[in-house]
Amino acid sequence: MTTEWEPVQRAKTYELVLDKIEEQILTGRLRVGDRLPPERQLAAALGVSRPALREALRILEAQGALVAQVGRGPDAGATIAAQPADALGRLLRLHLALSHYDLGEVVDARVMFERASVTAAAVGGSPERLQRAEKILDEMETPGLPREEFNDLDTRYHVELALASGNQLVGTMTAALRESVRHLILHAFAQLTDWEGTAGMLRAQHRAILRAVRSGRPEEAAVAVEAHIRGFLGKLAEQRTAITER
């Protein structure tokens, strides 16, 4: 049998730069908080053009692995960071918009993650995280709270519950899944004629979930969080499906 060979594709320069920086991170030579050398110096060290270096840094920033500060001074330059939730949220939002995933799948994924996280939190959750979740709920009681701020606090509450499980990755995924549908939720909030009634219902559901977790009732907490997610967000998914099928 004759072996067929194909030409090797040449990597673009910025991809080689990405490989080099990722190698430094994977080997532990670069850690969160470390600052990269100035652009001119780093480009010379890598033997690449500054435009190629900038392209690689932009990609790392979009991936949540780097924060770039423009300008001059001690705070200027690129710093290794850890912002996975922001990057994953942006990625999921784009694929949701491109119909690679539908909203129903996001709802199902949230249910799976959050049922597991509140169950773990109810069995042996972090008291500090649960206290933070309660303080967030107190903030959500503020009269006249703007709808966008309400949603941001809502996200923080769910992330704190997820982190209370002791699993950092579950917290990150919870934040990313919520970020992916943030614009849809805000749009739905804006259309509500009875905002106060809806906000009150959501706050009551949040309190019920937290009570079950703190009381060490994992199954009750899991059922409550699923009903909460499938309530508002599930109805939104059903509405979008109905519109798409028309």
pLDDT digits (tens, 9 = 90+) for 131-170: 999 999 999 999 999 999 999 999 999 999 999 999 988 8
Where exactly are the structural domains of the chain? 13-80, 85-245
Mean per-residue pLDDT over the chain, rounded: 86
List the CATH code of the domain at 13-80.
1.10.10.10
Identify which of 5-9, 45-49, 233-237 has the greatest average pLDDT.
Answer: 45-49
Nearest of 187, 163, 159, 154 to residue 175 by alpha carbon: 159
**Contact in structure between 135 and 215 (CB atoms under 8 Å):** no
The predicted pLDDT at position 59 comes to: 84
What is this structure's pTM?
0.74
pLDDT digits (tens, 9 = 90+) for 89-101: 777 777 777 777 7
The predicted pLDDT at position 73 comes to: 53
**Helices vs strands, H then E, count in the chain:** 11, 2
Higher-confidence residue of 61 and 145: namely: 145
pLDDT digits (tens, 9 = 90+) for 22-57: 898 888 898 888 999 988 898 999 999 998 898 988
- Alpha-carbon distance 221 to 187, whole Å? 28
Nearest of 156, 82, 167, 155 to residue 118 by alpha carbon: 167
Distances (CA, A) of 31 to 40, 66, 82, 237, 242: 21, 11, 9, 40, 47
Share of the chain above pLDDT 70, in %: 89
> Phi, psi (5° rounding) for residue 230?
-75, -15
As given in the structure block, the two tokens for residue 133 are: 């979740």
Q: Is there a shared CATH topology between the 13-80 domain and the 85-245 domain?
A: no
The predicted pLDDT at position 6 comes to: 62
Q: What class is the 85-245 domain?
A: mainly alpha
